[in-house]
Amino acid sequence: MQIKQELTERHVLTLTVDNEAGTLARIAGMFTSRGYNIDSLTVADISEDHTTSRITIVTKGPPPVIDQIIAQCERLIPVHKVTDLTEAGPHVERELALVKVNGTGDQRVEAMRLADIYRARVIDATVNSFIFEITGGPDKIDTFVTLMREVGLVEVGRTGIVGLMRGAGVS
């Protein structure tokens, strides 16, 4: 017997949640216990009075599973609102990465040149290392990181994406 795999879609969900102990564990654990995927997850307090956080989750699944994920998120008591940015229409997604590249000579020059093309900023430098800061959509960062592997990449930190709907509307 073979275990069947289904075709999946990538969706970006944003959740408005109560900023209290256990909320993140409740959401992340629900994904695990029901067998849903998390590609990335970001969370930060966004309200003036520190009572509300916004969570951005990138997930993959067949469309009925995405529907279930949204419904299961909404069922959690501290979750107030769930928006599927992918369904909601045009939106922007951004992610920040810090990329450390070690090297000397030509390799170092090439890293610097590529960083310039990708509009990555140097935020730390020694005689044999750089840390670049790059912001963009996930594809751009993927490509940049792939290129840096050729020229001495030693470490990457990525934030996972945050997203907002385009135009005046809110999610």
Partner 1 sequence: MPEKSGAEILIDILVEQGVDTVFGYPGGAVLPIYDALFQQKKIKHVLVRHEAGAAHAAEGYARATGKPGVVLVTSGPGATNAVTGIADAFMDSIPLIVLTGQVATNLIGSDAFQEADTVGITRHCSKHNYLVKDPAELATIVREAFSIATKGRPGPVVIDIPKNVQVATASTDVKRPARTRFTYAGEADYAEINRAVELIANAKAPILYTGGGIINSGPAASEALRELAELTGAPVTSTLMGLGAYPASGDAWLGMLGMHGTYEANMAMNQCDVMVCLGARFDDRVTGRLDAFSPDSVKIHVDIDRSSMNKTVRVDLPIVADVGTAMRQMIDVWKGRKYKKQSLEDWWARIAGWRAVDCLSYPGSTQEIMPQYAIERLFEATKDKSPIISTEVGQHQMWAAQHFHFDAPNKWLTSGGLGTMGYGLPAAIGAQLGNPNALVIDIAGEASIQMNIQEMATATQYRLPVKVFILNNEWMGMVRQWQELTYESRYSESYSDSLPDFVALAEAYGWKGIRCDDPAKLDDAIAEMLAYDGPVMFDCRVHKTSNCFPMIPSGAAHTDMILNADQVSGTMDDEAKALV
Per CB under 8 A, 9 contacts partner 1: no
Rounded Cα–Cα distance for residues 126 and 50 (Å): 39
**Span near partner 1 by CB under 8 A; candidates 66-74, 83-91, 94-102, 103-111:** 66-74
168 counts as binding partner 1 under rule CB under 8 A: no
Contact mark string toward partner 1, 27..56, x via CB under 8 A: --xx--x-----------------------
Nearer of residues 25 and 127 to partner 1, judged by Cβ: 25
Query: Exposed, middle or buried: residue 156 (CB in 10 Å: 0-12, 13-18, 19+)?
Result: middle
- Residue 144, CA distances (Å) to 29, 54, 136, 138, 160 in order: 32, 28, 10, 10, 15
Rounded distance, CA 12 to CA 84, Å? 6
Applying CB under 8 A, which residues contact partner 1?
Answer: 1, 18, 21-22, 25-26, 29-30, 33, 64, 67-68, 71-72, 74-78, 80
